[in-house]
């Protein structure tokens, strides 16, 4: 869409922010998620159960809400 076709003056800014957001997610997936997946696939014994994750999240939530 050319600048003259933008519905509002803020539209190019929103488009730019969307592009930055997409690029950030792609970088995160490539730099952090994919290597973590590969490492887990290579050594499944490092995996944690969903039960363990839920318990840890609950403990973190309790700790965070206690600080308020």
Read off the pLDDT of residues 12-59 as tens digits, 9 standing for 90 and up: 999 999 999 999 999 999 999 999 999 999 999 999 999 999 999 999
Distances in whole angstroms, Cα of residue 61 to Cα of each of 27, 52, 57, 67, 68: 28, 14, 6, 10, 11
Entry pTM:
0.58
pLDDT attached to residue 5:
67
pLDDT attached to residue 67:
84
- Domain edges within the chain: 3-66
């Amino acid at each position: 869409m050319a600048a003259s076709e933008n519905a509002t003056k803020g539209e190019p800014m929103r488009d730019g922010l969307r592009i930055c957001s997409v690029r950030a997610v792609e970088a995160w997936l490539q730099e952090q998620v994919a290597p973590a997946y590969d490492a887990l696939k290579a050594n499944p014994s490092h995996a944690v159960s969903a039960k363990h994750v839920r318990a840890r999240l609950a403990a973190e939530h309790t700790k965070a809400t206690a600080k308020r």
